[in-house]
Chain A
Amino acid sequence: MSRQRDADVLVIGSGAAGAAICSRLAGRGAKVVCLEQGEWVDRARLPKSHPDWEVRGRRYWAANPNVRRWPADYPVSSEGQDPIDVYMYNAVGGSQIGFAGNYWRMAPSDFKVHLLDGVGADWPFDYEELAPYYAINEAEVGVAGLAGDPCGPPREPLPNPPAPIGRPGQLLVNAYEKLGWYWWPTEQAITTKAYRGRPACDNRGWCTFGCPQGSLSTADLTYWPGALENGVDLRTRARVREIALGADGHAVGARYYDQDGVVREARAAVTVVACGGLGTPRLLLMSASPSHPDGLANSSGLVGKNLMVHVQSFATAFSKSLSTVGTAPGAGLSRPASSMKPIPPGTTCAGSS
């Protein structure tokens, strides 16, 4: 193994966060290596490239790695009284390759839940500090939406106009208006018009089954082309085994299995772990050593605990009169009650997604 540094920065994971970090740092001249255990998605295999897309979507494209079982996947147990439905992908672009494109910002109150409500912990920074970076990311991604939402703080215009709400959405909007309820078109990572070399969405819907034409803004399409142009060394099928530590106990890189199963080491001045909500704590715990018997960055003992999941609720209805619209992706959306002011009696704030 070489003791030379391979790069200024080593990024583990090529998903939404890892891709953005690689692109930004390489664009400023840093030498960056990225280790990704998966591969590039073959767009010809995306479910929506085939008439039996629904079947393919629940088989080899299934969001649950225990069902999908790609070579890059690893088992994820979900047990107990209320096991979660694991939703993740291991590929260039990470779990974004199977996401629906919802792309709203966190609310200011989300950063201060302990201060406001006495639960959880506050973030070490607030919304205002993060807002400029939200804007940078939204420009890179080409987020669609509309400024002016009264349930969010003032913000700059979004790069793309909102997606159409379709006839089902219009039916709901008509009802909201009749009832005097709040609604707003949600922010989505979808190019509703041609944007930075990617075509406008053509309204196929069912975004989680892949977007063959590339209008869904996944990291393999948004950040990675530019990152590669800027010289990022992206190593696919590189499964990291552990973070490597120097004599002083600080990270100096990572040891990983290459595509042939050979253990290699990549060294850098800075190591970034960007493996998602499950992969990051998994790797930190796998990096236990005599000097860190409970895993890296785990002096609190909380690594791998208190996973916060993204809760989704659905209401489904069938209507013959609305079934000709195809599959419009647009949506009217409410804000969760926790991020809003207490609602005065007689006022209703609700919506749909």
Chain B
Amino acid sequence: MAYDRKQGEHQVAQSSRPDYRLEVGRAEVPVGTPRSFVVLDPARAATLRAWTATLIPAAGRRPDAGSVGAAEYIDATVYLVPSIRPALIHAIDEVERLAREGVGRGFVEADAEEREGLLRRLEALDGDAFSMVSDFTYEAYYGHPEVLTAIEAENAWRGNAPMTGSSMTAFDASQLERVGKLPPRYRAVESSREVKR
């Protein structure tokens, strides 16, 4: 049995809906690439953008997640992985329903505190969908060049170091002067019958 012939027949997690963590495995959605919405209609797209901006609001030099294309990234992901589209669309509609019932207007029109409260309610109602949007938002955000630049300015962490590398400083073996003089510390096996400890 192989995944090319048995796609979708094997489920590790027990769930009434596809586990997004498994379903997105082969999806390749480059982060930081400008793109438009393909799956979501404009109203749902606006809700999702506001949702991602609520999860990661702007702080200092860091932009909010909505302004760096996190919602478009999620849209592109569910375009490539159709099996998880229903969960996303249902969750967006739930957020809107909660907003209409809870604050009397749409999620986009709610203020920051109200949005956070609404998302907490959604998390309690549909933890899987909330986690899915959160995970994808983190993916889109913390790989985005604009965010990485802001983080490097804050604390010098270089997110692109694994692409660019850095100079190698030779190991200083003189540091082992003390440890190298320790007596043998391994359990020697003299023979199959004689054991020296």
Contact = CB atoms under 8 A, between A and B. Distances in A.
A184 B139 CA distance: 36
B154 to A, nearest CB: 9
B178 A59 contact: no
Contact of B3 (A69, A183, A326): A69
Given A60-B25, A71-B2, A164-B171, A341 B10 contact: no
A74 interface: yes
A183 to B, nearest CB: 6
Contact of A71 (B4, B139, B173, B184): B4
A48 B163 CA distance: 6
A200 B165 CA distance: 11
A146 B173 CA distance: 9
A127 B188 CA distance: 10
Given A66-B10, A69-B26, A184 B186 contact: no
A62 B166 CA distance: 25
Contacts of B10: 66, 75, 77
B2 A73 contact: yes
A323 interface: yes
A78 B12 contact: yes
Contact of B179 (A56, A162, A182, A340): A182
A288 interface: no
A339 B163 CA distance: 38
B187 A150 contact: no
Interface in A264-303: none
B162 A320 contact: no
Contacts of B1: 74-75
A25 interface: no
Contacts of A342: 197
Contacts of A74: 1-3
B158 interface: yes
Interface string A69-95: 111111101100000000000000000
Identify whether the interface residues of B are mostly helix, strand, loop, or mixed: loop
> Binding site of A, secondary structure by majority: helix, strand, loop or mixed?
loop
Contact of B155 (A185, A320, A335): A320
A112 B157 CA distance: 46
Contact of B25 (A68, A116, A163): A68
A66 B13 CA distance: 11
A327 interface: yes
B192 to A, nearest CB: 7
Contact of A150 (B22, B31, B164, B185): B185
Interface residues of B, number: 59
A142 B88 CA distance: 49
Interface centre among B143, B171, B192 (most CB of A within 10 A): B171
Interface string B164-197: 1111111101011011101111111100110101
B161 interface: yes
B18 interface: no
B93 to A, nearest CB: 27
A341 B88 CA distance: 57
A150 B162 contact: no
Contacts of B197: 341-342
Interface string A85-128: 00000000000000000000001110110011000001000110
A53 B187 CA distance: 42
Interface in A320-345: 320, 323-327, 330, 335, 339-342
Interface stretch (A7-15, A202-210, A228-236, A245-253): A202-210
A50 interface: yes
A51 B163 contact: yes
B35 interface: no
Contacts of B169: 164
B145 A51 contact: yes
Interface string A29-68: 0000000000000000000111111111001101001111
A273 to B, nearest CB: 19
Contacts of A150: 179-180, 182-186
A146 B179 CA distance: 13
Interface of A: 48-56, 59-60, 62, 65-75, 77-78, 107-109, 111-112, 115-116, 122, 126-127, 146, 148, 150-153, 161-165, 173, 177, 180, 182-185, 192, 200-206, 209, 239, 320, 323-327, 330, 335, 339-342, 349
7 contacts: A50-B163, A53-B162, A185-B171, A202-B167, A204-B162, A204-B163, A341-B186
Interface of B: 1-4, 6-7, 10, 12, 21-22, 24-32, 139, 142-143, 145, 148, 155-171, 173, 175-176, 178-180, 182-189, 192-193, 195, 197
